[in-house]
Amino acid sequence: MQYLLSILIAGSTSYSLAWLSVRLAPRLGLLDRADGRKLHRGTRPIGGLALFLGLLIGIAPFIAWSRAVASVILGSAVIAGLGLLDDLHGLGPRTKLLVQLLAALIPTMWGGIWIQSISLGGLSLELGNWGILLTLLWLVGITNALNLLDGLDGLAAGCAAIALGFTALFAWRTASSTALLLTLALLGAALGFLRYNFYPARLFLGNEGSYLLGFILAVLALESFQPEFGHLLALPVLPPVLLLGLPIADTLWAIIRRARAGRSIFAPDLGHIHHRLLERWGYLKALGILYGISLALGLLALGSWWR
């Protein structure tokens, strides 16, 4: 019952705050303004913090607090704050990377959430201190990957919701009650927000929302395979990578594309997968194709692990 209540509370809270953000964000200067690299015209209000508050209120009555859980919430707050400042003032890429790294260090070093060993094809490998570096790379990488995917109305939130649905199945199968509660609460918050973010969007995630979704999803994609929240032992390699294969592939392609063109890998462009599909198929078909890819990758992740 607590899981159902959590998803309902988080969803209704996020929905209500998204409705409020549509009206208040312009007064606070939280607006996404059109430019040459964006697809919309004029301005759109930003309200990604509705996700964070929806998550917090959704888990508050039920969560078993621990240092690991607190570290994820604190790291998420830092990430959301970074996104908010970026939306308001526009921060440089080095500043953003530095703060993202500091946010990732909170669950990794304070919360003890780092990959100690991995398993692949029946083989197990102890990582030692290399596991800390791998975990930081994963957290920062997925945070930015989901941000880069946020290029069409409803794309990042919708794909995150699909990934969270599969993450909930992993957590349920592993009997990871804390990861399951966090996953369902974030899923509810994402679905509540999607009501205003789906095409044609009345509200954008902004960097505050896309960073937040990416950061927490990166943690949960690992923790859902662990019975005890906070320990990453014998972590299966393929399922998390397949589950988030779309933002990972899009980010890797963006880095290669920009490097080959002699541009900074941080320089935005209109060459992402969703831009190509939009040009050929239009908004709703492009969105449907990308949702379908996310669903297919989730099924592959499920099949690669479920026994």
| 121-177: pLDDT as tens digits | 778 899 999 999 999 999 999 999 999 999 899 999 999 999 999 999 999 999 899
Residue 115 covered by a domain: yes
Res 275: pLDDT: 87
Could you tell me which residue, 306 or 104, shows the higher pLDDT?
Answer: 104
Res 10: pLDDT: 97
Residue 287 covered by a domain: no
Structurally, the chain folds into a number of domains equal to: 1
For residue 36, pLDDT beyond 50:
no
Condensed to tens digits (0 to 9), the pLDDT of residues 233-254 reads 999 999 999 999 999 999 999 8
Residue 139 covered by a domain: yes
Res 41: pLDDT: 56
Residue 28's pLDDT band, with cuts at 50, 70 and 90, is confident
0.85 cut: is pTM over it? yes
Q: Give the contacts of 75 (CB within 8 A, at least 6 positions apart).
A: 103, 104, 106, 107, 111, 215
Q: Give the contacts of 296 (CB within 8 A, at least 6 positions apart).
A: none
Residue 279 covered by a domain: no
CA distance 170 to 179: 9
Residue 162 covered by a domain: yes
Residue 6 covered by a domain: yes
Q: What is the mean pLDDT of the chain?
A: 92
Q: Give the mean pLDDT of 186-215.
A: 95
Residue 214 covered by a domain: yes
**Joined tokens for residue 247:** 């933002």
Residue 138 covered by a domain: yes
Res 116: pLDDT: 95
Range(s) of the domain holding residue 184: 2-237
**Joined tokens for residue 180:** 């399951």
Q: Give the contacts of 6 (CB within 8 A, at least 6 positions apart).
A: 58, 59, 61, 62, 181, 184, 185, 188
